[in-house]
Amino acid sequence: MKKSTMIKELLTGNKVIKLAGAHDALSAKIAEKKGFDAIWASGLGISAVETVPDASILSMQEFLNAAISMNQATNIPVIADCDSGFGNIHNVIHMVKKYEYAGIAGVCIEDKVFPKLNSFLSGNQQRLVSAEEFASKIMAAKDTQIDPDFLVIARVESLIAGESMEDALYRATCYAEAGADAILIHSKSKTSDQIEEFSKKWSGQVPLFIVPTTYPNIKTKDIEEMGVKAVVYANQSLRASVKMMDYVLGNIIEQGSSLKVEEEISKVEEIFNLQDVNQMKIDEKKYSHSNALV
Ligand code: SPV
Ligand code: MG
């Protein structure tokens, strides 16, 4: 089954869809192994791998290459975080052609100006484009896709930019009417109150996605009860790997050896498994020169 069809089917199913943020093929593969339904090719994560800010610094092609790596390494759909669409409607049209052709199951674009800033960057003003301008981007994206199952998610940043709940609901309605397949409602609140209020007032026209980074106490059961369809754990694996690398490398310098941390890190065999070394061994036997001659 096509990966876009897989995600479309999940959207119409009755389970909450769990997406894991990934920053490369390895993190995507671990997410699949752990049972996530889909991958979120995180703009923050992909930028962090290059140690640049999540502020439209990398090019679309760089984000796309990272998403392709994740897609090729896994059997589950990849939804690509495409920031504000890399520019205006012409950039969005180009983006949809490229991502769809590459086999990415869907894209998510947000209603911030280009260049965008990560939603949690403080001290900088988060600026939105008008609802009308962003609705045009959604229309352009939907008109461009060839595969009917390719997903276009509209991300509403009103609550991030300090706008009202009414603004968020108005924008979400405009984007759904423009053809968005789902709405991602983002919040930086320390509690899930905003998301709860939004989902209560939402018409249900299209399904909702949430990203509970700042309100991590919310559980799958609560999400289900709210009527939210999908949850994106956008940056937990990135933060986990940074913390662990920092701790382990610091410890080696402090101790003068890796002995103390040896039990706390993955065995080399676990790395081999993630690299499909087993398959390499099977291929080696199957295609050995002696077999070829008999
Ligand atoms: C990302 O993962 O890049 C996101 C989610 O857009 S967040 O960083 O929470 O805004
Ligand atoms: Mg992002």
| Any ligand 1 atom below 6 A from CB of 44 | yes
Q: How far is the CA of 58 from the centre of ligand 2 (A)?
A: 12
Give the domains, in start order, of the chain with CATH numbers. 3-235 (3.20.20.60), 242-292 (no CATH)
| Any ligand 1 atom below 6 A from CB of 43 | yes
CA 168: distance to chain centroid? 21
Structure tokens at 145: 């896709």
Ligand 1 pocket: which of 42, 49, 79 to mutate (most atoms <8 Å of CB)? Answer: 42
Residue 144 confidence class, pLDDT cut points 50, 70, 90: very high
Identify whether 115 is preceded by a cis peptide bond (ω within 30 of 0).
yes
Look at residue 125 in the predicted model and tell me its pLDDT.
Answer: 85
For 70-128, the pLDDT digits (tens) are 999 999 999 999 999 999 999 999 999 999 999 999 999 999 999 999 999 976 789 99
What is the spatial distance between Cα 53 and Cα 222, in angstroms, rounded to a whole number?
Answer: 33
For 9-42, the pLDDT digits (tens) are 999 999 999 999 999 999 999 999 999 999 999 9
Question: Looking at this protein, which amino acid is placed at residue 112?
Answer: K
Structure tokens at 252: 């080696």
What is the average pLDDT value for the chain, to the nearest integer?
Answer: 97
Atom of ligand 1 nearest to the CA of 119: 10
Catalytic residue positions, numbered: 54
Atom of ligand 1 nearest to the CA of 213: 9
Residue 288 confidence class, pLDDT cut points 50, 70, 90: confident
| Any ligand 1 atom below 6 A from CB of 237 | no
Atom of ligand 1 nearest to the CA of 235: 2
Atom of ligand 1 nearest to the CA of 83: 6
Average pLDDT over residues 237-252: 98
Q: Closest Cα partner for 18 from 4, 33, 42, 39?
A: 39
User: Ligand 1, atom 10: nearest CA belongs to which residue?
Assistant: 119
Residue 290 confidence class, pLDDT cut points 50, 70, 90: confident
Backbone angles phi, psi at 160, to 5 degrees: -75, -40
For the chain, the straight-line distance linking the first and the last C-alpha, in angstroms and rounded, comes to 37
CA distances from 84 to 73, 127, 132 (A): 26, 11, 14
Q: How far is the CA of 106 from the centre of ligand 1 (A)?
A: 16
Q: How far is the CA of 118 from the centre of ligand 2 (A)?
A: 6
Q: How far is the CA of 241 from the centre of ligand 1 (A)?
A: 17
Look at residue 293 in the predicted model and tell me its pLDDT.
Answer: 65
Q: Closest Cα partner for 173 from 138, 211, 222?
A: 138
Q: How far is the CA of 91 from the centre of ligand 2 (A)?
A: 17
What is the spatial distance between Cα 147 and Cα 187, in angstroms, rounded to a whole number?
Answer: 31
